[in-house]
A and B are shown apart, each in its own frame.
Chain A
Amino acid sequence: MTNKPANSTLRVKEVNENQCHMCMPLGGVIAFKGIEGAMVLVHGSQGCSTYMRLANVEHFHEPVDIASSSLNEKQTILGGEKNLNKALDNVLRVYQPTMLGILTTCLAETMGEDMDRMIRAYLQEHPNLGVEIISVATPSYRGTHSEGFWATTRAIIAHYARVCESHNRINVIIPNISPADIREIKRIMGLFGVEYTLIPDFSMTLDRPYGGRYQKIPTGGTSPADVSRMPGAPVTIQFGLTCPDALSPGLYLEQQFGVRLINLPIPIGVDNVDQFIAALSHICGKPVPEQLTLERGWLLDGMADAHKYNAEGRPAIYGEPEMVYALTGVCIENGAEPVVIASGSPHSKLKDLVRPMVSDLAEQPFLIEEADFASIEHAAVSAGATIGVGHSGGKFLTERHGIPVTRVGYPIHDRIGGQRIFSAGYAGTLAFLDRFTNTLLEQKYGSYREKKKDEMALNRVM
């Protein structure tokens, strides 16, 4: 096993069997939902938007409203402007959003819909609407939901950002992480007492506490006024190492407005969190708060306790590139050397980033881009993976091969609480690690009993 080629990459087959990724507008929906007062409209036939509601609702267990322009056969020939206009009339009237995000589907893009022109015409015809309309091209044949998330976040910033006086609110740009993790990142920044604009903040819009009045557009989200002032920030922290340059919101702010970009991994894992904390401490010129030092201590204590179990783990890590990168770090840090590292996304920088991390490992893992679960499964089985780490798509590893999965990332469709999975910061990392270690232990003792039973049965026969 040890002299496997440095990496065995890529799906060589045409067939995408059991997908590891979803479609581009889906990621865009999540990003838009992180803006205050936002509603989303998907320009295309209605199936896409209905399916996207389904995929998001099953993950967040929250209402996720997405309107559609409901294109029919006729419009595929004549163009969709009339329907788009009707959709705008209705959705603006019934929802009264202050921002409307429009995402295109593969159909609209294949038809070659000129979104900018149509939206301009609509706004001209309806002055004083009091709503900002932001449209993003998201054909899925050009990217996965991860790219859709970045592209949309970038478009939102590009729409609002204005040159302004410098201030000391820092910019924080996050990838598709759980609302629980967003809250943790905010808490950490709160401990430093630093002011920030975090975008897109869907921690309240897609994970609402029970009680109070139900509102069609929930309160919360990044305020557009804050977004417009992002160009005046001293610095941008972006958790987007794998984000392609062309889609990178932080890079946009740097190139257009000269805001220095600090690109960091998602703060999961000691090293990754350290980088975040060090950056914060440096930016505010303050020492690390005592509370965080304690939390770091608890984490290390936990790692020391668990290392003997974790060192036996052979994880197969898969999912969105940014999450996979961070999780790879955590696993290596804990002696659980990954045997498969895979992402469905074809466009990220994941492979180049991960390669130096794994080059010293005793066994070279499979690195798979454009992965589907057929390729992940194949790699996991042939590399003798003992645990899967990723979203619910990996249930096949368990069902077919008895490889348990620690669920983390997006989407979680077969368990409750996807929106609450807590893995960021020192405290979150420890929570993740406990889940990971306990999954291994459960497997170990589960099969231990089985082995014992077999042994005893054998003894009886003899």
Chain B
Amino acid sequence: MSMSEEMMGDMLEKYPEKVLKNRKKHITIVDTSQACQQIEANTRTIPGIITQRGCAYAGCKGVVVGPIKDMVHIVHGPVGCSYYAWGTRRNKARADENTPADKVVSTLCVTTDMQESDIVFGGEKKLARMIDEVVEAFHPRAISICATCPVGLIGDDIGAVAKAAQDRHGIQVLSFNCEGYKGVSQSAGHHIANNNLMEHVIGTGPDRDPNDRYVINILGEYNIGGDGWEMERILGDIGYKVNCVLTGDTSILEIKNLHQAHLNLVQCHRSINYIAEMMETKYGTPWLKVNFIGVEATKKTLREMALCFGDEALIQKTEEIIAREEARIMPVIEHYRKICQGKTAFAFVGGSRSHHYMHLLRDLGMEVVVAGYEFAHRDDYEGRQVIPSIKIDADSKNIPELHLTPDAEKFQEAHVHLNMSKEKFDELNKQVPLSYYEGMQPDMKDGEVMIDDCNHHELERMVRTLRPDLVFAGVRDKYFVQKLGVPGKQMHSYDYSGPYAGFNGAMNFARDITNAMTTPAWKLVTAPWEKQNQQ
């Protein structure tokens, strides 16, 4: 069943007039006969509506900065903000040759736990003393300070505290003014984090080793449930050198060396496209939007990557690995596909995943009939070509843009990075969309729905009318969906499962969602005596 205008009307009818008008702009019933269907996104959430969105701090500390494993991340604010962002995204990290176990400190949850007197008299001194204690206790390679709402208001200068601490201790101390009220969602925090890493960390490591070949970064991969490790496994087998995964299981050392890559892969476009773009400007590094979620999507990504380097041996090796992996996993996928075939799902996650998972679900014969994002921008729905036409509102203006120029020493043309002639590169650009993302819309069919910043009320109405077989959302929405008799799968931290990326991930995912949909409990809901009564 697909959504009609009428159903949409019913759903929105409960709102006051102004809200109804506003929400309508955030919902598109896909009609492929229309050239461009515009959706409103990245605008303010309507107060009092139960949104799925979080705050800028959640995007900065919770998503981008938090996973960097060899830094102590200090949350400057009252206790709750810190507690809530503690390990909730299940970014996995482990010791490796660059970072011994005693340097892995990102699982610590550290806060200034501001008290009333700090609010009244300012918290700078406490923060400074705290940095001293942290250095003494953990000897981290670097420290981050993330500010939460009250800090911005009382005017603590965390930049100055960071600078002084950096001079005092001789380690890098990064400060992020990511107060939760900035912007309209997590998205503002991504941008703040991207800027800071670009300005102060990226490119400060040594230059590239000229003998290295096929060096890549995976940007916007946070290693939830071990996704990044599965990608690294596949890429390693093919012969790529994964220089850095930003920021899943990564270290500040690796981020310093980000400029050493020949090619940037962008997995989560929303949270990291700023760095991809800025690196292109500063170093000339080309970037490719990839998707390792789904068997077909992973294959397409691997093939496009191989084309980027244009090397026959690499192309061949890619096919070999694809064949090897497929032979191994397809019987399993087939088994689950028989069960999943023809079922429908809703997907509302983050700013990129809803699109990624469409591919994996299609591998299993399932269709996403309603898809949306919490904090995406229009380009994540409609494609990057719309960026010039996006209105910059007051909320976005508050996040400073970095205006970069090509680096005098390190800049190279994209084709030089990829070790090919300009002509060949132009040819490649026609085959593979470099520095481009087409958004989710082209992958959606007539009658399917795109919905931005979907709230509790709308989700409930759509579940009731469209009766999907499965709903992907955050844990906050999972349980009420289940009360409506539809299994919910929490896609921020995968319900303690994973990895879901790559070939192994596809198997895990197929197993998990099949279990969710076929769990015998659903058949036992009605008691036998009630069944008799019904007859």
B-binding residues in A (CB < 8 A):
13-19, 21-26, 41, 44-48, 50-55, 57-58, 61-76, 83-84, 86-94, 105-107, 110-111, 139-142, 144, 208, 210-211, 214, 216
- Given contacts A14-B112, A47-B57, whether A69 and B47 have CB atoms under 8 Å apart is yes
**Could you name 13 residue pairs across A and B whose Cβ atoms are closer than 8 Å?**
A16-B111, A23-B80, A54-B84, A54-B474, A57-B479, A63-B480, A66-B50, A88-B48, A90-B48, A107-B180, A144-B79, A214-B484, A216-B457
- Given contacts A45-B180, A69-B47, A76-B152, whether A51 and B54 have CB atoms under 8 Å apart is yes
Measured CA separation A87–B49 after assembly (Å) = 7
Measured CA separation A90–B153 after assembly (Å) = 27
Q: A67-B48, A140-B80 are in contact. List 19 more A-B contacts (CB 8 A).
A: A14-B130, A16-B79, A19-B86, A23-B81, A44-B149, A51-B54, A53-B476, A55-B83, A57-B476, A68-B47, A76-B153, A88-B48, A90-B15, A106-B78, A110-B153, A140-B78, A141-B114, A214-B480, A214-B483
A86 closest partner in B (C-beta): B47
**Number of inter-chain CB pairs below 8 Å:** 220
Q: Judge whether A216 and B525 touch: CB under 8 Å.
A: no
Q: Judge whether B80 and A76 touch: CB under 8 Å.
A: no
Say yes or no: is B426 at the interface (Cβ < 8 Å to chain A). no
Q: Judge whether B51 and A70 touch: CB under 8 Å.
A: yes
A43 closest partner in B (C-beta): B47
Chain B residue contacts of A65, Cβ below 8 A? 50, 456, 480
Min CB gap B129→A, angstroms = 5
B58 closest partner in A (C-beta): A47
Measured CA separation A58–B45 after assembly (Å) = 24
Min CB gap A391→B, angstroms = 12
Chain B residue contacts of A47, Cβ below 8 A? 54-58, 81, 149, 180
Chain B residue contacts of A57, Cβ below 8 A? 475-476, 478-479
Q: Judge whether B149 and A23 touch: CB under 8 Å.
A: no
Min CB gap B44→A, angstroms = 6
Measured CA separation A44–B115 after assembly (Å) = 18
Measured CA separation A13–B126 after assembly (Å) = 10
A62 closest partner in B (C-beta): B479
Say yes or no: is B446 at the interface (Cβ < 8 Å to chain A). no
Q: Judge whether A94 and B525 touch: CB under 8 Å.
A: no
Min CB gap B467→A, angstroms = 13
Residues 97-125 of B contacting A (Cβ, < 8 Å): 108-116, 118-119
Chain B residue contacts of A216, Cβ below 8 A? 456-457, 460
Chain B residue contacts of A208, Cβ below 8 A? 483
Min CB gap B205→A, angstroms = 29
- Given contacts A19-B83, A87-B48, whether A50 and B55 have CB atoms under 8 Å apart is yes
A24 closest partner in B (C-beta): B80
Min CB gap A390→B, angstroms = 15
Which of B47, B52, B80 contacts A22, CB < 8 Å?
B80
- Given contacts A16-B112, A46-B55, whether A70 and B46 have CB atoms under 8 Å apart is yes
Say yes or no: is B133 at the interface (Cβ < 8 Å to chain A). yes
Q: Judge whether B149 and A50 touch: CB under 8 Å.
A: no
Measured CA separation A137–B112 after assembly (Å) = 21
Which of B78, B153, B394 gathers the greatest number of chain A CB atoms within 10 Å? B78
Chain A residue contacts of B110, Cβ below 8 A? 15-18
Chain A residue contacts of B154, Cβ below 8 A? 110
Say yes or no: is B150 at the interface (Cβ < 8 Å to chain A). yes
Q: Judge whether B51 and A46 touch: CB under 8 Å.
A: yes
Q: Judge whether B79 and A140 touch: CB under 8 Å.
A: yes
Which of A13, A48, A73 contacts B80, CB < 8 Å?
A48
Say yes or no: is B88 at the interface (Cβ < 8 Å to chain A). yes
A148 closest partner in B (C-beta): B80
Residues 429-485 of B contacting A (Cβ, < 8 Å): 456-457, 460, 474-480, 483-484
Chain A residue contacts of B113, Cβ below 8 A? 16, 19
Q: Judge whether A46 and B476 touch: CB under 8 Å.
A: no
A23 closest partner in B (C-beta): B80
**How big is the B interface, by class?**
35 or more
Measured CA separation A55–B83 after assembly (Å) = 9
Q: Judge whether A15 and B184 touch: CB under 8 Å.
A: no
B457 closest partner in A (C-beta): A94
Min CB gap A206→B, angstroms = 11
Min CB gap A372→B, angstroms = 8
- Given contacts A16-B111, A216-B460, whether A48 and B180 have CB atoms under 8 Å apart is yes
Q: Judge whether A18 and B152 touch: CB under 8 Å.
A: no
Q: Judge whether B480 and A68 touch: CB under 8 Å.
A: no
Chain B residue contacts of A61, Cβ below 8 A? 479
Chain A residue contacts of B425, Cβ below 8 A? none
Q: Judge whether B133 and A15 touch: CB under 8 Å.
A: yes
Q: Judge whether A21 and B79 touch: CB under 8 Å.
A: yes
Measured CA separation A111–B119 after assembly (Å) = 11
Measured CA separation A141–B121 after assembly (Å) = 13
Q: Judge whether B149 and A51 touch: CB under 8 Å.
A: no
B484 closest partner in A (C-beta): A214
Chain A residue contacts of B184, Cβ below 8 A? 72
Q: Judge whether A63 and B479 touch: CB under 8 Å.
A: yes
Min CB gap A90→B, angstroms = 3
- Given contacts A107-B153, A211-B525, whether A26 and B48 have CB atoms under 8 Å apart is no
Q: Judge whether B83 and A50 touch: CB under 8 Å.
A: no
Chain A residue contacts of B51, Cβ below 8 A? 46, 50, 68, 70
A22 closest partner in B (C-beta): B83
Min CB gap B88→A, angstroms = 7
Chain A residue contacts of B217, Cβ below 8 A? none
Say yes or no: is B487 at the interface (Cβ < 8 Å to chain A). no
Measured CA separation A50–B54 after assembly (Å) = 6
Q: Judge whether B180 and A19 touch: CB under 8 Å.
A: no
Min CB gap B83→A, angstroms = 5
Measured CA separation A106–B150 after assembly (Å) = 6
Which of A17, A21, A74, A86 contacts B109, CB < 8 Å?
A17
- Given contacts A26-B80, A55-B84, A72-B181, whether A90 and B16 have CB atoms under 8 Å apart is yes
Min CB gap A393→B, angstroms = 9
Measured CA separation A83–B45 after assembly (Å) = 10
Contact digits for B55-82, partner A, Cβ 8 Å, 1 yes 0 no: 1111000000000000000100111111
- Given contacts A15-B134, A23-B78, whether A83 and B58 have CB atoms under 8 Å apart is no
Contact digits for B287-319, partner A, Cβ 8 Å, 1 yes 0 no: 000000000000000000000000000000000
Among all A-B residue pairs, the 9 with the closest Cβ atoms? A47-B55, A23-B80, A87-B48, A90-B48, A51-B84, A87-B47, A63-B480, A16-B113, A107-B149
A142 closest partner in B (C-beta): B116
Say yes or no: is B403 at the interface (Cβ < 8 Å to chain A). no
Q: Judge whether B83 and A23 touch: CB under 8 Å.
A: yes
Chain A residue contacts of B129, Cβ below 8 A? 14
A212 closest partner in B (C-beta): B483
Measured CA separation A52–B19 after assembly (Å) = 25
Chain A residue contacts of B15, Cβ below 8 A? 90, 93-94
A47 closest partner in B (C-beta): B55
Min CB gap A189→B, angstroms = 29
Say yes or no: is B282 at the interface (Cβ < 8 Å to chain A). no
Measured CA separation A67–B134 after assembly (Å) = 36
Chain A residue contacts of B83, Cβ below 8 A? 19, 21-23, 55
Q: Judge whether B19 and A90 touch: CB under 8 Å.
A: yes
Say yes or no: is B395 at the interface (Cβ < 8 Å to chain A). yes
Measured CA separation A61–B495 after assembly (Å) = 12
Min CB gap A55→B, angstroms = 6
Contact digits for B356-400, partner A, Cβ 8 Å, 1 yes 0 no: 000000000000000000000000000000000000001100100
Min CB gap A28→B, angstroms = 12
Min CB gap A52→B, angstroms = 8
Chain A residue contacts of B50, Cβ below 8 A? 65-67
- Given contacts A44-B149, A141-B119, whether A90 and B80 have CB atoms under 8 Å apart is no
Chain A residue contacts of B54, Cβ below 8 A? 46-47, 50-51
Say yes or no: is B14 at the interface (Cβ < 8 Å to chain A). yes
- Given contacts A22-B83, A93-B14, whether A14 and B152 have CB atoms under 8 Å apart is no
Chain B residue contacts of A18, Cβ below 8 A? 86, 108-110
Chain A residue contacts of B355, Cβ below 8 A? none
Which of B130, B182, B483 contacts A73, CB < 8 Å?
B182
Q: Judge whether B78 and A71 touch: CB under 8 Å.
A: no
